[in-house]
């Protein structure tokens, strides 16, 4: 583990099951990747296997429904969905799977991501999407780790160590300010 609480290696859930992804990381366009890659990096730090795909609510609606409906059978436990503008992907995926869905509002060049945020966050009762901040893909990755960690003591231990690393980092920065 690094000072920042980063981990390398497979999560216990994936040991002996190479390439079995527990998190589905999807986005409406490849243009979302510069934002969404932070989620993949967070999952990598904790050794959580994930699959990455481009699935658009508007351009590939059939693929989107197939993806959501087959997610459980393919072994996914959590889905992270990022989209910008009229960002309907997270909500539509949540409507077609029982898995927890984390929505990432991707900021585009107009409206500063407020359109993405409002498109994702205001879901009708009965169909929840856990929405992170505009551009908050890293937190989406970390939230997915926490959801998995609820049933995985080793991942939970890793998250606890990561949090201790954050605390240590703040203390070091504070000490540097005073030096």
Annotated binding site for substrate: 29, 32, 59
CB atoms within 10 A of CB 3: 9
Which lies closer to ligand RP5 via its Cβ, residue 83 or residue 144? Answer: 83
Residue 109 DSSP class: S
Residues that bind ligand RP5 (CB under 6 A): 27-29, 31-32, 56, 83-85, 106, 108
Q: At closest approach, how far in Å is the CB of 23 from ligand RP5?
A: 18
Q: Cβ atoms within 10 A of the Cβ of 34, count?
A: 11
Minimum separation from the CB atom of position 85 to ligand RP5 (A): 5
176 token code pair: 């540097």
Residues tagged in the binding site annotation? 29, 32, 59
The helix/strand/coil state of 11 is coil
User: Closest-CB residue for ligand RP5?
Assistant: 28
- Strand residue runs (E) in 93-158: 101-106, 130-131
- Between residues 83 and 92, which has the closer beta carbon with respect to ligand RP5? 83
Q: How far is the CB of 113 from ligand RP5 (least distance, A)?
A: 10
In 3D space, the residue among 85, 89, 124 whose CA is nearest the CA of residue 108 turns out to be: 85
Q: Based on CB atoms, which residue is closest to ligand RP5, 27 or 42?
A: 27
| E runs forming strands in 34-165 | 50-54, 78-84, 101-106, 130-131
The distance of closest approach from Cβ of residue 148 to ligand RP5 in the complex, given in angstroms and rounded to an integer, is 25
Residue 54 vs 96, nearer CB to ligand RP5: 54
């Amino acid at each position: 583990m690094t000072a920042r609480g980063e981990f390398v290696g497979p999560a216990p859930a994936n040991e002996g099951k190479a390439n079995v992804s527990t998190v589905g990381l999807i986005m409406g366009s490849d243009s979302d990747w510069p934002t969404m890659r932070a989620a993949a990096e967070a999952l990598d730090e904790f050794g959580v296997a994930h699959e990455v795909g481009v699935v658009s609510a508007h351009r590939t609606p059939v693929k989107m429904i197939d993806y959501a409906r087959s997610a459980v059978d393919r072994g996914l436990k959590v889905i992270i969905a990022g989209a910008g503008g009229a960002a309907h992907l997270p909500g539509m995926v949540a409507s077609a799977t029982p898995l927890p869905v984390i929505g990432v509002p991707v900021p585009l060049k107009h409206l500063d991501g407020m359109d993405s945020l409002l498109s994702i966050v205001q879901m009708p009762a009965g169909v929840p999407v856990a929405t992170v901040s505009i551009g908050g893909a890293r937190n989406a990755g970390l939230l997915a780790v926490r959801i998995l960690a609820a049933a995985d003591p080793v991942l939970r231990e890793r998250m606890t160590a990561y949090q201790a690393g954050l605390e240590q980092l703040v203390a070091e920065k504070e000490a540097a300010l005073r030096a």
